[in-house]
Amino acid sequence: MAIGALIGAYQEDDSGGLRALLPLAGRTLLEYQVSCAAAAGAAPIVVVVERMPQSLQDALERLRLEGVGVIAVSDVNEAVSRFEAGSMILLIGDGVVAPVDVVARLGEEAEPAVGTVPDDERHLEFERIDAEARWAGVAVVDANLLASTARMLGDWDLQSTLLRRTLQEGARRVPLSDEAGATLLVESPDQLGEFQRNLLHASRSGRTDWASRYVLPLAEDFATERLMETGVRPAWLLWAAAALTLAAALCFTRGWLGAGLALLILSTPLDLIAARLATLRLKPLATRLVSRRALWPLAGIALLSLGWWEWQHNSGWGAMVTALSTVVFAEAARIEQASMPGGNEQWLFSRRNAIFAAVPFALAGSWTAYLLAMLAYAALSFLLLQRVRHNAVS
């Protein structure tokens, strides 16, 4: 049975605002919580509020625009009516910040369960369960128990009362001691600093080539930190990278070789930044996105455009044959690499590696030499991959 989610957004922080609206990774804490619940497969996602300031309305609207079905209610009985009788509900406490894998772990529970952290000095802000454990702020409760709790709630706090009744009904306790350092109950923005830094660090995708590992990290980190606070969508960055690559190909056909290379260099970090923004927003990019898949063939078109210019103005038809052969070897190497497990491929031919390798040749004005070097680079990468695969089969 599908699981729903119930999130509190009514308790105040130290400044008198709502905990749910504290800033986290360019969004609000509530948006992060809802995205965690959505990533765990929860639907519907119900947010319990007491007042609806404009900033809270804006946060909920942003979530809806992202395709997340979130419902705000001010009455507990209305919240009850949103869930099917007998279904499981993922309960996320007001002001609780938990890693998405912790939320997903609890969301997989088929029976009522309560996440716990040790009752020690590091977790004094969490609600005590007994002398040994405190509530980690995440639990799975039964919808029927929510309904009966709503009927007898009175002036009591919903999440505390529901937690107590869930424990009394014999819910299983799930210790989260391994994740204790990352699970927080926050009341001020300062408490979110370390968690946000951990999110940024964890969002780094696999840097599989030497260009992304040694050349681009500073630019990638800087741009990610700035863009996560904006409304820029990851898909826009992918389309921008595709447009820059296509524009570079056009520049090569016009003989604007330096401008074309500059556009290609600008395009190199954009797909990495897009992937990180998508990870931070808990909506990883689909591997089959047209804009993402187009970067490789468009880079091939740019290389062929360079070969065409060299053919027409400098080196004769050999430049075009060299560029075409490079594209063939590069594609063959890509196919071989796709069928093999990841490993030490950072020095092999890749789109980013080929772009940054052009810089010294461009400074020397030796574009035909660059084409020859890329042919050797792509061919050698293909042969190395063939050798590795042959040895593995043997």
39, part of any domain: yes
273, part of any domain: yes
**Using the 8-state DSSP alphabet, how is residue 366 labeled?**
-
Rounded distance between C-alpha atoms, residue 233 and residue 278, angstroms: 8
pLDDT, position 301: 97
393, burial (CB in 10 Å: exposed 0-12, middle 13-18, buried 19+): exposed
46, part of any domain: yes
366, part of any domain: yes
Of residues 215, 274, 213, 210, the one with CA closest to residue 240: 274
CATH number, domain of 109, equals 3.90.550.10
Residue in the block written with tokens 């997989």: 108
Contact 19, 11 (CB under 8 A): yes
Same domain as 368, residue 230: yes
pLDDT, position 313: 92
Res 156 pLDDT > 90:
no
Q: What angle do CA 200, 97, 48 make, to 5 degrees?
A: 130
Same domain as 349, residue 321: yes
Contact 285, 274 (CB under 8 A): yes
Residue ending a domain, choose from 195, 224, 255: 195
pLDDT tens track for 8-67: 998 888 878 899 999 988 889 999 999 999 998 998 999 999 889 999 999 999 999 888
Instruction: Check the CA dihedral 25-29-35-41 and report its sign.
Output: positive
Output the pTM of the full model.
0.84
48, part of any domain: yes
Range of the domain at 305: 207-393
Q: What angle do CA 123, 128, 133 make, to 5 degrees?
A: 70
Residue scoring higher pLDDT (183 or 138): 138
Same domain as 343, residue 257: yes
Residue ending a domain, choose from 195, 218, 249: 195
- List the structure tokens of 239: 């389309």
238, part of any domain: yes
Same domain as 59, residue 32: yes
Same domain as 227, residue 174: no
* Displacement of CA 163 from its chain's centroid (Å): 31
Contact 161, 153 (CB under 8 A): yes
Same domain as 237, residue 178: no
Q: Does a cis peptide bond (omega within 30 degrees of 0) precede residue 44?
A: yes
Same domain as 290, residue 166: no
pLDDT, position 392: 65
239, part of any domain: yes
Half-sphere exposure of 140 (CA within 13 A, CB side): 25
pLDDT tens track for 368-388: 999 999 999 999 999 998 888
202, part of any domain: no
Same domain as 295, residue 269: yes
Same domain as 81, residue 189: yes
Domain count for the chain: 2
Same domain as 107, residue 157: yes
Give the pLDDT band of residue 180 (cuts 50, 70, 90). very low
What average pLDDT does range 301-312 have in this prediction? Answer: 96
**Using the 8-state DSSP alphabet, how is residue 171 labeled?**
P
What average pLDDT does range 127-137 have in this prediction? Answer: 89
Radius of gyration of the chain (CA): 27
Same domain as 187, residue 250: no
Res 253 pLDDT > 90:
yes
Same domain as 191, residue 216: no
